[in-house]
Amino acid sequence: MSKTDWIVVGGGSAGCVVAARLANPNGQRCGKVTIIEPPANTTRRVDRERPAKWLNLLGSDEDWNLATAENCQLANRTLRWPRGRGLGGSSRINAMIWFPPTRKDLQILVEASGGLWKISELQDDLDELTKLTRPEQPAWQSEAAERFLNAAKQFNAGVAWTYMRLNRAGRRWNPAELLTTAQASGSTASGSIEVQRSTVNRLICKGDQIIGVETCDDHGKNEIFANKGVIICAGAIATPAILMRSGIGPRDQLEKAGIEVRLESEQVGQGLQDHLIMPMIFQVRSGKFPSHTSVQDIVRWQTMGTGPLSSNLAECGGLFLEDSIQIHVTPTHYLSYPKPADLAFMTLGVNATQPQSTGMLQLQSSDPQVPLNIHPHYLQDAGDRNITIEGMQLARRLVKETDLSQWIVSETLPGEKRYTDQHLKKAISRYSQTLYHPSGTSRLGVTNSSVVTPDFQLKGFRKAWVVDASVLPRLTHGNPNATIMLLALKAANKLRSFVG
C-alpha cells in the first residue's frame, strides 16, 4: 500500500497533459502526482522516431492489440483496433496528425457543457495547448499530396490542406515528453511526477468518495491511495472497463459478470463511436514516395529530419461536402503498405465525419485480463453508408475532373467497373477499416444519462474525474487527438483550483 496526492490512471494523450499541467501549477504547491501506466517495451528503437515507419508500431509490444467482434455490416469481418501502451498512449503509435477542433466541434462541446464553456475560452485553451505541443509544418511532401492539394483547389468542393504533425524537427513526438519538461522545470518547487508501471484493476471507494486504486503487476496486487483525487485517463476502452469493474455501469452487465453494483450508470460503455475509412486506391505514375527510400534518404532524415522518411504517410487531406466527408491522402497502397510494392500508388481514404451509428462495449468478466467485447455497430445507421458512398463518388470526380487524371494510371480499388451504389456498398463492407478513433463511452454532458459532468467529475462520486476520448460528447469532425488533449488541459486547469 502507498500514498500520493493525485493518481492519474493511464499515461496516454490525456493523462500526460493532465499530469504535466497538475505538477506545474505556476508556483502553487500541488504535491505528488502518480501516473499509473502499464509497462511497455521502452527500448529505443529507430521506428519510434521515423514518422514514415509508424505502421510498424501497430501490433508491436507498444500496442494493446485489441480487436472488435464480428461486424455484420462489414461482411462479418473483425477489425484490429490498435491502442497505444506505455507513456504517450495512443499518441505513441499514431499517425501524428494535428487536427484542431473545427468550429462545429467547439459548438458541440459548448452545447454538451450546457453553456458552461464558451467558444472563446475553448479557443484560448487550444492556444495554450498548441504552445505546449508545438505541431510542425512538414519539410517534405510526396507527389501524391502535392498533386491532390492542387486538384482540390481546382475542384472546389471543400477545403484541403497539409496536415500539421506532432513532430520535433521531423521526428515523432508525443505528450509523454511534457512530463520530462514538467519535471525539469518545476518539480521541486511545486510538485513531482512519479510513474508507476502497473495496471489499474479497479477504483477503491469509501462511501461516495474515490480514495484510491487497486493495481496489479508482476509482483501481484497492490493498493495506492490519493489524498486529493483520482483522474481516470485510460482511454475509450479501458476507462469504461475500469468503471464497470468498480461497480459503476449498466446493472445487467455488472450482475452478469458477478460485480456488485455500486452505481447504476446505463451509459458507461455505451455510445461508442469511431470513424470508418474506405480506401480508394489508385495506381499512379512514379513520383516521390516514402516507400522507396534510398541510403541518401536515410542520411537526409538522420541529419536534417526531412525527406521521405519524415512523411507521416497521411500527409494531407480535408473536409468536403459541408464537412460531412473527410478525405485523407496517402502515397501508398493503403491495404498492403508497408509491404514493398513494385508499382506506385496513392490512396484517397474517405470517411463520414459524423457517423450516427453507435456501438457498445460488453464486459465479459470481473477479471481485468479478460478483454471486453467491442461492438462498434459500424454502418448500423444506413445514412453513414450513404454519406460514404457520396464521398467515394466525390473522390472519383475529383480525380477525373482535375489535373490528377493525367497522373493516375487506373483505379485499383474499388475499380472503375464498380460504379453503382450496390458495388460501392459492397466495397465498403469488404474493405473499410477503423480510422483508430474510438470515443464517447463515458460521455460528458448535463443530461441525466451523462457519465461525467462538464467539470469532468465522475457523476455520483467525489474526488474522481474522467478525461480522455471516452468523455467526447460526439466524435470530432477530423482526427480527435488535439481535442482530447484540449479537454485534458481544461480538466487540469480546473483541478488546479483544488491545489493547495
Q: Which is nearer to ligand FAD, 12 or 249 (CB)?
A: 12
When the beta carbons of 294 and 336 are compared against ligand FAD, the nearer one is: 336
Alpha-carbon 234 to chain mean position: 12
Contacts of 412 (CB under 8 A, 6+ apart): 281, 282, 283, 333, 345
Q: Is 313 helix (H, G, I), strand (E, B) or coil?
A: coil
Give the amino acid at 432: S
Count of all residues that appear for the chain in the document: 500
**Contact indicator for 261, 273 with CB cutoff of 8 Å:** no
Nearest CB to ligand FAD, comparing residues 84 and 191 = 84
- Give me the least distance between CB of 16 and ligand FAD, in Å please: 8
Least Å distance between CB 288 and ligand FAD? 21
State the minimum distance, in angstroms, from the CB of residue 414 to ligand FAD: 24
Nearer to ligand FAD, 436 or 465 (CB): 436
Cβ of residue 12: shortest distance to ligand FAD, in angstroms?
2
CB of 373 to ligand FAD, least distance (A): 16
Separation between Cα atoms, residue 215 and residue 223, nearest integer Å? 6
494: cell is: 480546473
CB of 140 to ligand FAD, least distance (A): 17
Nearer to ligand FAD, 407 or 456 (CB): 456
Shortest distance, position 400 Cβ to ligand FAD, whole Å: 28
Pairing verdict, β 263-264 and 248-249? parallel
Residues engaged in binding ligand FAD (CB under 6 A) = 9-15, 36-38, 58, 82-85, 89-91, 93-97, 99, 199-200, 233-236, 238, 242, 436-437, 468-469, 479-482, 484
In whole angstroms, the minimum distance from the beta carbon of 415 to ligand FAD comes to: 27
User: 190 and 28 in contact (C-beta within 8 Å)?
Assistant: yes
Phi, psi of 361 (to 5 degrees): -110, 140
CA 292/CA 297 separation, integer angstroms? 9
Which secondary-structure segment (H or E) carries 255?
Answer: helix 251-256
Which residue's CB atom is positioned nearest to ligand FAD? 12
d(CA 461, CA 444): 15
Nearer to ligand FAD, 135 or 414 (CB): 135
Min CB(237)–ligand FAD separation in Å: 8
The single-letter DSSP state of residue 71 is B
**Dist CA 361 CA 310 (whole Å):** 36
Q: Which residue, 73 or 198, has its beta carbon nearer to ligand FAD? A: 198
Residue (93 or 389) nearer to ligand FAD, CB:
93
Q: How far is CA 386 from CA 70, 300, 352, 379, 476, in A?
A: 21, 44, 9, 9, 19
SS3 403: helix
Looking at the Cβ atoms of 175 and 414, the one nearer to ligand FAD is: 175
